[in-house]
Amino acid sequence: MRSLLTVFALSAILIASVGAAPAFSQIEELIVVSTDKSSYSVGETILISGEVRDLLSGYAISLQVIAPNGNLVAIAQPEVGDDKMFSAKLTAGGQMKVEGTYTIKVLYGTESRTAKTTFEFRGVGVPGGPTPIGPSMDVEGYTVGFKITGGSVLGITPDVDANSLVIEISTTNDGELTIILPRALIDAKFNGDDDDFFVLVDGEEVDFDETKTSTERTLTISFFDGSEEIEIIGTFVIPEFGTIAAVILSVGIISIIAVTAKTRLSLVPKQ
């Protein structure tokens, strides 16, 4: 009798544990979404992940990123895996031009399966100074901050004749360069208004994303493995030894004029 009761007790425990197991793997909401961090700066990767409670055949996630002013700045359609999980990666910047709270909205199949989360976009940092997104280089007395994936930056050199900055890179994979350009170093203007830069990767024109402040312009440029040079062409670049060269040239011209005038006076015969 005791052994029979023991068998019944063990069976009851087994059935209860089997019946309860799925409950621990399910979420209460129909869909949830979150980000890996609460705030991001230009060039950082926003990792978005989430989970659905039930799989729907033939549906992907509809994901939207909404700016503080209500504008749509990014979209994605991540697939839902067999584990009911989904994820997406976005780069902070590009159409994200305004600092503040951004909202991520996701929809799966029907309006009842929606969720949202938020994150803070810090933009390009403190006005008047480069964003500390990674290493930096001194270019003609200006600090140029940058962040690169898939390679490294070997040097940044101004080309006065071309009104450009030439960035030498060494690659290990396809990658992306985000570079913060002080307007006092290089800029692109037309009739006093901001104009577009031209960006060349190994001589071929490429598209890029850009954000701006009154003191900086931040470009995000993709490149392929094997690329060696990125050239950013504007309408102005500070010349090498710019201010010093101008002063030396002015002093030289004044000295020549003075010497010439004195020589002429010494050659004039006395009356």
Mean pLDDT throughout 151-170? 94
Which of 72, 89, 121 represents a domain boundary (last residue)?
121
The yes-or-no verdict on residue 14 having pLDDT over 80 is: no
Predicted confidence at residue 28, as pLDDT, reads 80
If asked whether residues 113 and 34 sit together in one domain, one would say: yes
If asked whether residues 114 and 142 sit together in one domain, one would say: no
CATH code assigned at 94: 2.60.40.1930
> Long-range contacts: 52-55, Cβ < 8 Å, 24+?
52/27, 52/80, 52/84, 52/86, 52/108, 52/113, 53/26, 53/27, 53/28, 53/29, 53/84, 54/30, 54/84, 55/80, 55/82, 55/84
Residue 79 lies in a domain: yes
If asked whether residues 159 and 215 sit together in one domain, one would say: yes
If asked whether residues 110 and 141 sit together in one domain, one would say: no
Residue 249 lies in a domain: no
If asked whether residues 142 and 217 sit together in one domain, one would say: yes
Residue 155 lies in a domain: yes
Highest mean pLDDT among 32-46, 114-128, 158-172: 158-172
Predicted confidence at residue 142, as pLDDT, reads 86
If asked whether residues 225 and 140 sit together in one domain, one would say: yes
- Using 50, 70 and 90 to split pLDDT, how confident is the model at 100? confident
- Using 50, 70 and 90 to split pLDDT, how confident is the model at 18? very low
If asked whether residues 90 and 178 sit together in one domain, one would say: no
Q: Which residues of 96-114 are buried (b: 16+ CB within 10 A; e: fewer)?
A: bbeeeebebebbbbeeebb
If asked whether residues 115 and 52 sit together in one domain, one would say: yes
CA 103 to chain centre: 18
If asked whether residues 150 and 116 sit together in one domain, one would say: no
If asked whether residues 153 and 230 sit together in one domain, one would say: yes
If asked whether residues 169 and 230 sit together in one domain, one would say: yes
Report how many domains make up the chain: 2
Mean pLDDT throughout 146-152? 90
Predicted confidence at residue 260, as pLDDT, reads 58
pLDDT tens string 243-254: 444 455 555 666
- Residue 205: domain span: 136-240
Do 43 and 133 meet the contact criterion of CB atoms below 8 Å apart?
yes
Residue 43 lies in a domain: yes
Residue 2 lies in a domain: no
Predicted confidence at residue 21, as pLDDT, reads 40
Which of 98, 121, 144 represents a domain boundary (last residue)?
121
